Chain A
Amino acid sequence: MLKSINILVGALGGDGGGVLCDWIVSAAHSQGLGVQATQIPGVAQRTGATTYYLEVMPARGPAPAVLALNPAIGEVDVALATELLEAGRMIFNGFVTPDRTTLIASTHRVLAIGERAAMGDGSFDVGRLLRAVKERSKAQILFDMDQAAEESGGVINAVLLGALAGSGKLPIGDAAFEAAIREGGKAIDTNLAAFAFGRAHARGELEQAVREHRKRQSAGQGVEDLIERARQEFPASSLDIVEEGVRRLTTYQDRRYATLYLDRLRGFDPALVRDVARHLAVRMSFEDVIRVAQAKTSAERFARVRAEVRAKPHEPVELTEHFKPGNEEIAAILPPWAARWLMARAKFHISMHIRSTTIWGFARLRFLAGLRWWRPYTHRFIEEQAEIERWLQAIRSAQSLSPDFAREIAELARLVKGYGDTYARGLGNYRRISVEIIAPALAGRLAPSKAADAVANARVAALADPEGESLSRTLAAIAA
């Protein structure tokens, strides 16, 4: 009795999983092969994950009276996935097995809401996914199908169909699949193109340029002498960071500020320089209104945005910036006495939508960006420098007690970021940890090695939930 070829498809709502099944079913019919497909679309709605299950008879002739509607662990011949985590899910559920299943999956990631909403980097470990994909399947066809779909102008389900055709796992020729796509009647050309891309990738006939995210160096010119000084004073391992710091702070403020950056970096253990240099440069270029205006009016920003929104060369683009400055943001660029007065007033916010592509809109932002010379006299600048000095001092004194503890104090700066509530919450958590762990440890009331772990745990807890509950629990546990 002939055994069916069992196919399980994992896809997101909107990927066209249902149409993919229709194509496979109609292609099988056209070859006179018995075929049955079913699906459970209730939860596939709107980007949810779902599965589709098909059984195709390998040759003509009578199919068994009853084909299965449910996939069984250890009995799936071909698994298709339109996204890497969904491939991982089929493995996790035991449907993809090393003795039997050929896994055809896209390597791109669409982060689930839980991964995106995390305060730090909440994405699932891709290394684990790829390792499980390779070790827990019999054969793999892996490439970025999202990129292939984009390059071909078609939809990802057509790329996946092409990869299935290219895998040779079904006794169905390419022509039958292409006929099924034509029969579907929608976006035939682009889907045929996507089909061809998928098939070429599956047969290794097409190289895929890996799209990786390049870091963007700061522009800062005229700092060759400072760079040269950095090269003499600091270990080679930290130079990439220190040089970027110099260029960044020169653009952010001026050469004198970059020189202060180098002065502040002196006196640290070589092993600590790289971490301290990274966080120090970030803290010294805190995000006040002037910096935001600088970013919004930089020459290369408009070119970058045009590319991001895929504006064609001859298409004008009008940008509207969303600002909502309040007492804090305005007080930040006032002298300290004026800032304290304004901060004491009732809280207010002004919603501003500035069209930065108009002359008047751009001029206003340009004017703000031009206040760099005034920044050293502002309330926020003075506060930040004081905070930085306390932080550097804490690291220096911790250095002699335990390098790990010193590094954790440096790493704690990661909490200080963002605007408005985010900044207030981050700074508040930073200060709480400083007062409740770092100060006692420096005063000898807490063993330095214990303090290092405590600060690390507290930092992770601070990034766990915005409400700060896990931080409170962690601090209470440490205090106990």
Chain B
Amino acid sequence: MLDQPQLPVSQRTNPERSFKEEVRALRLGDGEVFRGEGILAVTKAILQAGVSYVGGYQGAPVSHLVDVLVESQDLLDELGVHLETCTNESSAAALLGASINYPIRGCVTWKSIVGTNVAADALSNLASPGVIGGALIVVGEDYGEGASVIQERAHAYALKSSVWLMDPRPSLPTIVNCTEKAFELSEATNTPVMMELRIRACHVTGEFVAKDNKPPAISRNARLAEPALHNYDRISHPPSTYAHEKIKVEVRQPAAERFIVEHGLNEFFVGDRSDLGIIVQGGITNVLMRGLDRLEVEGKIPTLVLNVTHPLVGDQIADFCRSKRAVLIVEEGAPDYIEQAIHALLRKRDIGTKIYGKDVLPMAGEYTAEVVTEGLLKFLALSANDIDLSGPRQRFEAARAGRAEAQRLLGGPLPLRPPGFCVGCPERPVFSAIKLLEREVGKVHISSDIGCHSFATLAPFNLGNSILGFGMSLAAAGAVAPVLQKRTISVMGDGGFWHNGLLSGVASSMFNRGDRVLIIMQNGYTSATGAQFIPNTAGNRRDGETTSDIAATLKAMGVKWLRTIRTYNVATMLGSLREAMNTKEGGLKVIVADGECQLARQRRIRPQIAAQLKRGERVVRTRYGVDDEVCTGDHSCIRLSGCPSLVVKPSPDPLRTDPVASVNNGCVGCGLCGEVADAAVLCPSFYKADIVQNATWWDRLVWRLRSAVIGAMAGA
């Protein structure tokens, strides 16, 4: 079984990957060329803009902003910048409260739409009074291929809270300029500014000419002697809030529109045709430009690139459309806020330009190259049939026909390959145990959550009835448990627990005397996002102490039925689950499924073991295996485990055809396959091999003696 050595302080950098190069890039000065990803360029830009504080909650695609700063403590100390790794997005948004009373610039970041949802209340309470120090919210728009959340647009929040929204064209110089201008726009209009970056923009590589980082005037190194005086206008409470609402539309929005024009934040791409035009969100300019190039009309159609998508500048839009016969709006996602606003704006100004948009482009879904090309073909056919598109259209149709032929040749959909649990993951055994539990008690209602454990909703486990958001699994079972005869099981990660599950789930369930079962996956990190540290991580980077213990917290909240179980003991876990489902005891029953994230653990111990081996120390390497003479190829062990290192290979038996199970060399020796074969009484094929490296003379003597005797016995 796995032992758990205490984490030495020195090795507690972010286990997912090291950011040495990126940290160095943050120190570049005037005139030096920065090379890297979009999200890192934003990180450099906010240091160049002289932020006093940075916060956020990591989530794809913006995790690296905070991850890199977490490893740049010395740079932050030099600049006096305060970094806060918030426990959720609402605490991150609340951080911006500092810029209400003090002229200090702040930047927070989170994954959108889910993070923005969580942060919405603090965001509204910030936007109403407004800010005097620049406040920038960098949201990663997790939209389209590669996303892992519900598909909604952050745009809605900008509209309803009168917060300005930037959607910069994904080229590093533009992103950096927008980031720096965002602080100025925020200060010029006393309004927080959101900047959305899609997945491909966060990870686009590029370069820009850096400037020196600017130590903020007010910071940890240069503290104010006195706090701001009380000023009721800055309080989000009536009657101030009534005044705020008017100021937003009468003062701040016009100021924003002026700023956008004066600083040329939106871009114009010239085109020969004076009768046609395209208006596009900055973030999807690239796919539009390539679409025009593909149809050989690039440089023909003037294009207005909206690097700021809220507010729209009325005059700028009107002037762009007035002389044109037809204008296409390229706006990804639903609903079509920008198209609707432009229709209304032109109508009020009696401008008769024909507007195309969601009639030629899909209302929802990612604007891929294919989608945009099809939309452009329709738009140009309707509005500019004098352009001969027969060549490009024929090539486009040929590519589609070729794909259909390829799909016919391949014959049917290809096997899916969704993300899954890592080799030796501590969470996988819990779902093996649940599968075995269901053999005894029948199907169980399982409310799932966000995190690596979400992978149990996929093959081979296919467990889970709902996901209501990060940390919401226990709350989501609140109204299910009372109407089912069998108890419900909620699965929550320790990340989700600290994010909000502690309050929304545990506290609420205790207070309402809920009779439910909760499994908390205590793997020590926010693993799915990149193994960031959380309050129960064994030690954090600042002082090496663990901040809070989950079991202790639960006890303090009054949880009586509480078990902490090492996840790899499938039989013990099954026993505890059986008891939790059948006990007469009412109320909340919590199983803390304990096992360190294997990815993080392997990254930590692999160098340690390599060093031990080099020093000639005795190290036992554990690995599991399947006897291919005993396995008959039913694969029920794979259906109950699904570990990537538990694979199949052709049967060595000349008389059998079905492939047999086999363990490949990715095995880390966690023992799950052996445990599952045991707990589910599958077969006697599994063996555990302990390979003794740098064996002592005693090891070798015993081994030689045994081999001799066994050799004799085997021969007889």
Question: Interface on A for B, CB 8 Å cutoff?
Answer: 12-13, 21, 25, 29, 35-50, 65-75, 85-86, 88-89, 91-94, 96-99, 110-121, 123-125, 128-129, 131-132, 135-136, 213-217, 240-241, 244-245, 248, 278, 281-282, 287, 292, 295-299, 301, 305, 308-312, 314-324, 326, 349, 351, 353, 356-359, 362-363, 366, 414, 417-422, 426, 466
Give the interface centre of A25, A39, A135 by most chain B CB atoms within 10 Å: A39
Q: Is the CB of A358 within 8 A of B409?
A: no
Contact B419 A136 (CB under 8 A): no
B684 in complex: contacting residue of A38, A47, A115, A419, CB < 8 Å: A419
Inter-subunit contact B294/A94 (CB<8 Å): no
- Interface pair A322/B634, CB less than 8 Å apart: no
Does chain A have a CB within 8 A of B405? yes
Residue of B with least CB distance to A426:
B634
Q: Contacts of B702 on A, CB cut-off 8 Å?
A: 316
Cβ–Cβ contact B205 & A37, under 8 A: yes
What CA separation (Å) do A287 and B665 show in the bound complex?
A: 27
Q: Is the CB of A357 within 8 A of B655?
A: no
CB distance from B449 to the nearest CB of A (A): 16
A92 touches B686 (CB 8 A): no
Hey, which chain B residues are within 8 Å of A25, CB to CB? 205
How many Å from the CB of B503 to the closest CB on chain A? Answer: 27
B692 CB within 8 Å of chain A:
yes
**Among B460, B674, B699, contact of A316 (Cβ-Cβ < 8 Å):** B699
**Docked complex Cα distance between A473 and B170 (Å):** 54
User: Does B203 have its Cβ within 8 Å of any Cβ on chain A?
Assistant: yes
In the complex, which of the residues B201, B644, B674 has the most CB atoms of chain A within 10 Å of its own CB atom?
B644
**Chain A residues near B369 (CB-CB < 8 A):** 68, 70-73, 75
List chain A residues, Cβ under 8 A from B418. Answer: 43, 48
Instruction: Evaluate contact between A419 and B682: CB separation under 8 angstroms.
Output: yes
Query: Any chain A CB within 8 A of the CB of B87?
Result: no
A233 to B223, CA, bound (A): 101
Asked whether A117 and B684 contact (CB < 8 A) given A37-B205, A72-B294, A292-B630, the answer is no
Q: Which 8 A-B pairs have the closest CB atoms?
A: A40-B146, A94-B403, A74-B399, A48-B419, A72-B369, A316-B703, A49-B417, A112-B415
Q: Assuming A75-B294, A116-B647, is B653 touching A215 (CB within 8 A)?
A: yes
The reply to whether B706 and A357 form a contact with Cβ atoms under 8 Å apart is yes
Which listed residue (A36, A42, A248) contacts B655, Cβ 8 A? A248
In the complex the two chains form, is B403's CB within 8 Å of A73's CB? yes
Return chain A residues, CB-CB under 8 Å to B415.
Answer: 85, 111-112, 114-115, 124
Contact partners of B419 in chain A: CB under 8 A:
13, 43-48
**Does B654 make an interface contact (CB < 8 A)?**
yes
Determine the chain B residues whose CB is within 8 A of the CB of A13 once the complex forms: 419
Interface residues of B in 657-716 (CB under 8 A from A): 657-659, 665, 674, 677-678, 680-684, 686-693, 695, 699-700, 702-703, 706, 709-711, 713-715
Specify the chain A residue showing the minimal Cβ separation from B396. Answer: A74
Q: Would B634 and A422 count as touching, CB distance under 8 A?
A: yes
| Complex Cα–Cα for A272 and B690 (A) | 47
Known: A42-B148, A314-B695. A121 touches B659 (CB 8 A): yes
Contact with A along B381-410 (1 / 0, CB 8 A): 000000000000001101110110111011
Whether B221 sits at the interface, judged by CB under 8 Å, is no
Q: Is the CB of B460 within 8 A of A113?
A: yes
Contact flag A318-B678 (CB < 8 Å), given A129-B410, A136-B402: no
Point out the residues of chain A lying under 8 angstroms from B686, CB to CB. 321-322
> Is the pair A295, B629 in contact by a Cβ cutoff of 8 Å?
yes
Given contacts A136-B405, A359-B710, A317 and B688 within 8 Å (CB-CB): no
Q: Which residues 622-669 in B have Cβ within 8 Å of A in the complex?
A: 623, 625, 627, 629-630, 632-636, 638-639, 642, 644, 646-650, 652-659, 665
Q: How far is the CA of A213 from the CA of B648 in the complex (A)?
A: 12
B536 at the interface (CB under 8 A from A): no
Q: In the complex, how many angstroms separate the beta carbon of A48 from the nearest chain B beta carbon? A: 3
A29, A42, A74, A314 — most chain B CB neighbours (10 Å) = A42
| Smallest CB gap from B648: residue in A | A116
Q: Is B411 an interface residue (CB 8 A)?
A: yes
- Compute how far the CA of A309 lies from the CA of B657 in the bound complex, rounded to whole angstroms: 25
CA–CA, A420 and B286, complex, Å: 59
CB contacts (< 8 Å) of B395 on chain A: these are 74
Flag whether B459 is at the interface (Cβ < 8 A): yes
| Given contacts A42-B147, A116-B647, A213-B649, A36 and B689 within 8 Å (CB-CB) | no
- Do A113 and B287 form a contact, CB below 8 Å, given A305-B625, A309-B691, A418-B634? no
With contacts A74-B396, A94-B399 taken as known, whether A322 is within 8 angstroms of B714 at the C-beta atoms is: no
Set of chain B residues within 8 Å of A136, measured between Cβ atoms: 402, 405-406, 409
Residue of B nearest to A358 (CB): B706
Contact B60 A41 (CB under 8 A): yes
In the complex, how many angstroms separate the beta carbon of B630 from the nearest chain A beta carbon? 5
A116 and B640 CA atoms in complex are apart in Å by 12
Does B472 make an interface contact (CB < 8 A)? no
* A–B Cβ pairs within 8 angstroms, 24 of them: A29-B35, A36-B205, A47-B417, A70-B200, A74-B402, A88-B414, A94-B406, A97-B399, A111-B415, A113-B460, A117-B459, A118-B635, A124-B415, A131-B409, A213-B649, A316-B691, A316-B695, A320-B688, A322-B677, A326-B681, A357-B710, A362-B706, A362-B713, A420-B682
> Are A92 and B60 in contact, with the CB atoms below 8 A?
no
> Which residues of chain B in 179-210 are interfacial with respect to chain A, using CB atoms and an 8 Å cutoff?
199-201, 203-206
Min C-beta distance of A73 to chain B, whole Å: 4
Q: How far is the CA of A414 from the CA of B656 in the complex (A)?
A: 9
In the assembled complex, B373 has its CB within 8 A of some CB on chain A: yes
19 new A-B contacts at CB < 8 Å, known A68-B289, A466-B636: A41-B61, A42-B61, A42-B147, A42-B199, A45-B419, A46-B644, A72-B373, A73-B369, A75-B399, A91-B410, A112-B416, A119-B634, A120-B658, A244-B654, A317-B689, A317-B692, A320-B690, A322-B687, A422-B683
Q: How far is the CB of A62 from chain B (nearest CB, A)?
A: 14
**B142 close to chain A: CB less than 8 A:** yes
Q: A117-B460, A315-B691 are in contact. Are A298 and B636 (CB under 8 A)?
A: no
Q: Which among B373, B407, B419, B647 has the highest number of chain A CB atoms within 10 Å?
A: B419
CA distance A131 to B411 in the complex (A): 11
Cβ–Cβ contact B715 & A299, under 8 A: yes
In the complex, whether B368 has a CB less than 8 A from a CB of chain A is: yes
The answer to whether A112 and B648 touch (CB under 8 A), given A322-B686, A362-B713, is: no
Given A47-B417, A132-B406, A323-B684: A73 in contact with B714 (beta carbons within 8 A): no
Contact between B642 and A45 (Cβ–Cβ < 8 Å)? no
Neighbouring B residues of A421 by C-beta, 8 Å: 636, 680-682
A335 to B142, CA, bound (A): 66
Give Cα A36 to B692, complex, Å. 48
Nearest residue (CB) in A for B399 is A74
Which of chain A's residues have a CB closer than 8 A to the CB of B677? 322, 324
Indicate whether A245 sits within 8 Å of B655 (C-beta atoms), given known contacts A305-B689, A318-B692, A366-B714.
yes
A349 touches B460 (CB 8 A): no
Chain B hits for A65, CB < 8 A: 289
CB pair A70 B630 closer than 8 Å? no
Choice from A69, A357, A426 contacting B287 with Cβ under 8 Å: A69
B164 interfacial contact with A, CB 8 Å: no
Cβ B625 vs Cβ A309 within 8 A: yes
In angstroms, Cα B171 to Cα A68, docked, is: 11
Considering the chains assembled together, what is the distance between the CA atoms of A451 and B430 in angstroms?
A: 44
B285 within 8 A of A: yes
Q: Known interface pairs A66-B289, A301-B629, A316-B703. Does A116 touch B638 (Cβ–Cβ under 8 Å)? A: yes
| Chain A residues whose CB sits within 8 angstroms of the CB of B703 once the complex forms | 316
| C-alpha gap A296/B169 in the complex (Å) | 64
Within the complex, what minimum Cβ distance (angstroms) separates A67 from chain B?
7
Cα separation A46 to B405 with both chains bound (whole Å): 32
Q: Which of A43, A85, A121, A326 touches B414 (beta carbons < 8 Å)?
A: A85
Interface centre among B528, B625, B659, B686 (most CB of A within 10 A): B659
B573 adjacent to chain A (CB < 8 Å)? no
Residues of A within 8 A of B710 (CB): 357, 359, 362
B205, A363: Cβ atoms closer than 8 Å = no
